[in-house]
Amino acid sequence: MKKEGEEKIKQINSSANPVNGKIIAIILTITILIIGTFFYFAASGRSNGLVVSNSEDMNSDVSQKQMNTNDNLNNTEDNYKYAILGVQADNIYVKTNPGGMQKLFYYHPVNEPINVPLLEGNMEEYLIHSIGGQEYYPLIVGYEEAEIMRQKRIFYSIGDSIKNFFGKNVVIVGVMQRTDGIMDMAYIMPLTEEELN
């Protein structure tokens, strides 16, 4: 009888041992983290995860407008979303506007081809314009940034010019297709960080 009681006490003590509880908690936490990481990366591959691509992806002959199915469209968007970031990250910079807001820019010269799916505009207009004897630089605006600029009545449509945009005169030549990523808030123009105020 005494031995049975001692065995029950040992069983109770071993099950109430705080070290065993901590080990179980650690194992559960690690398991949850592994499963969560798997689902995170699986989901980011379909939504707005960072896709590092090479220049061959940028020069694809297939435009986004030619793709009709949602699966193909989503795959193209995933490849495009951050392709610019993956190809020449040195060309990305941030400027602060007079209101203290930071704006993301991507430098791309006018004499080099670029494959940017546009919602509005035409890539053939990505060149320096002469308006009233002054140079106006082409500006392609990300989807979300274009919405904000239109709400603030900075521009209304493609072809509108803006004077003193970070110290330069620009003309809106395109609005990028929505990517649900960082490029929705970016500007593409042929000016480097040093050339803008």
pTM assigned to the model: 0.57
pLDDT-derived band at 114 (thresholds 50, 70, 90) equals confident
Q: For residue 188, give Cα distances in angstroms to 84, 90, 134.
A: 10, 14, 20
- The tens digit of pLDDT for each residue in 126-178 reads 999 999 999 999 999 999 999 999 999 999 999 999 999 999 999 999 999 99
Torsion of CA 192, 100, 141, 134, to 10 degrees: -60
List Cβ neighbours of 185 (8 Å cut-off, separation of 6 or more).
103, 104, 142, 144, 145
Lowest average pLDDT, out of 33-42, 46-55, 69-78, 87-96, goes to 46-55
pLDDT-derived band at 122 (thresholds 50, 70, 90) equals very high
Q: Are 187 and 145 in contact (CB under 8 A)?
A: yes
User: Is pLDDT larger for residue 32 or for residue 188?
Assistant: 188
Residue 121, number of CB atoms within 10 A of its CB: 21
- The tens digit of pLDDT for each residue in 14-57 reads 555 656 667 766 776 676 666 655 555 555 444 333 333 333 33
